């Protein structure tokens, strides 16, 4: 019986082998490649097949973490730092960051020159100048981000120490990346600031455009779903919670083009608190100093200083299911 079963299975395998046609996979792959090559040349395809390089997303993300190593020394490094090693540490890390950042800025600026037909004669020098400016900016970034760390600790009773904020809080990570990207943005670096903030967005769910202007002691609690648009202006000591949108009103294609470089997002003055899932829209919308915006509020008009804005308490209905 066993021999018969084995023989039957063997015959079935042989029949399967005979029915399977042999495929020349090498030839088929070559045909696929040929179709790809022909397709990229067609209109409305997005490719970068040019001798001039563009910024590398992988290297830009590496720049973020190298900058964070200098801003929060000792927190994200494998080495143990002390007073004897700190000068060498800063020196080595600064040289590595300068080389990488200047290269990527050069590529970004050169790409803009090629795209708009400008003479590309100072791209490399521009990259070095901005990279050096960024290194010189790090002490100021440390100072302002220290205030953001303190704001998070003081604004959240669940935090046990500043270390916990630096290691664990997605809001601080997003703000740190934003402040790095914002400096590059205001110094005329194309593309790279957006790569940075969109990376932070992908990691934290917090979407901050590098063009936004954000004051000191800024705290985002929880953070997921927060959106802060390009022309948003935020004062000092502002606290916002998850799901908050500081956005623009929906526009037609023509209106969008006409407002591309104009203020479209709200202004939030000092000492404002905005609770979860509130939506504040429009370039003329101003939330006055010291105001509190309650959860789920929808605003397209300004609010005077020291004002509380809340929705009416919803009516709850309870029915006995028995």
Cα atoms in the 13 Å half-sphere on the side-chain side of 23: 6
* Per-residue pLDDT reduced to its tens digit, 252-264: 666 666 667 789 9
Q: What is the pLDDT of residue 262?
A: 86
Mean pLDDT confidence for 302-322: 92
Domains, in order of start, for the chain: 52-205 (1.10.3130.10), 225-313 (2.160.10.10)
Question: How far is Cα of residue 313 from the mean position of the Cα atoms in its chain?
Answer: 35
Question: Which of these, 207, 217, 187, 221, lies nearest to 265 by C-alpha position?
Answer: 207
Residue 8 clears pLDDT 70, i.e. is over it? no
Query: What pLDDT is attached to residue 114?
Result: 76
Q: According to the model, what pLDDT value does residue 206 have?
A: 98
Decide if pLDDT at 289 tops 70. yes
- d(CA 209, CA 199) in angstroms, rounded, equals 11
pLDDT (0 to 100) of residue 194: 98
Crossing angle for the helix pair 123-155 and 57-71, to the nearest 10 degrees: 50
Quick one: angle between helices 170-186 and 123-155, nearest 10?
A: 150
- Rounded CA separation 113/125 (Å): 14
Give percent of the chain above pLDDT 90: 70
* Contact between residue 288 and residue 274 where contact means Cβ atoms under 8 Å apart: no
Average pLDDT over residues 223-238: 97
In this predicted structure, the answer to whether residue 19 has a pLDDT above a threshold of 60 is: no
What secondary structure letter does DSSP report for 268? E
* 316, pLDDT greater than 90: no
Q: What are the φ/ψ torsions at residue 227 (nearest 5 degrees)?
A: -130, 125
With bands split at pLDDT 50, 70 and 90, how would you rate the model's confidence at 314?
confident
Q: Which of 46-50, 167-171, 198-202 has the lowest mean pLDDT?
A: 46-50
Backbone φ, ψ for residue 100 (5° rounding): -70, -45
| Per-residue pLDDT tens digits for 145-185 | 999 999 999 999 999 999 999 999 999 999 999 999 999 99
State pTM to two decimals. Answer: 0.87
Distances in Å between the Cα of 250 and the Cα atoms of 57, 117, 191, 232, 265 are: 30, 33, 24, 15, 11
Give the span between the Cα atoms of 270 and 289, in whole angstroms.
5
């Amino acid at each position: 019986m066993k021999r018969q079963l084995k023989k039957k299975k063997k015959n079935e395998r042989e029949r399967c082998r005979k029915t399977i046609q042999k495929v020349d996979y090498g030839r088929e792959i070559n045909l696929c490649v040929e179709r790809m090559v022909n397709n990229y040349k067609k209109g409305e395809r997005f490719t970068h097949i040019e001798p001039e390089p563009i910024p590398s997303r992988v290297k830009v993300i590496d720049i973020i973490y190298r900058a964070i190593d200098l801003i929060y020394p000792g927190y994200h490094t494998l080495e143990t730092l002390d007073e004897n090693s700190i000068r060498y540490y800063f020196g080595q890390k600064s040289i590595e960051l300068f080389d990488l950042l200047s290269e990527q800025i050069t590529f970004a600026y050169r790409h803009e020159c090629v795209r708009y037909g400008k003479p590309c004669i100072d791209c490399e020098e521009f990259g070095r100048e901005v990279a050096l400016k960024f290194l010189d900016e790090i002490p100021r970034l440390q100072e302002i981000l220290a205030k953001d760390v303190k704001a998070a600790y003081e604004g959240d009773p669940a935090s046990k120490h500043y270390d916990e904020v630096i290691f664990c809080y997605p809001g601080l990570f997003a703000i740190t990346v934003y402040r790095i990207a914002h400096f590059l943005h205001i110094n005329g670096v194309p593309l790279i600031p957006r790569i940075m903030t969109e990376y932070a967005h992908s990691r934290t769910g917090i979407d901050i455009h590098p063009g936004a202007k954000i004051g000191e002691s800024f705290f985002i609690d929880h953070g997921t779903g927060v959106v802060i648009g390009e022309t948003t202006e935020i004062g000092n000591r502002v606290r916002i919670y998850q799901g908050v949108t500081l956005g623009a009103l929906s526009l037609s294609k023509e209106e969008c083009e006409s407002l591309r470089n104009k203020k479209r997002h709200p202004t939030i003055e000092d000492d404002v608190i905005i609770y979860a899932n509130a939506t504040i829209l429009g370039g003329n919308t101003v939330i006055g100093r010291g105001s509190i915006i309650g959860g789920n509020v929808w605003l397209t008009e300004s609010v005077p200083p020291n004002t509380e804005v809340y929705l009416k308490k919803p009516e709850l209905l309870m029915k006995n299911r028995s």
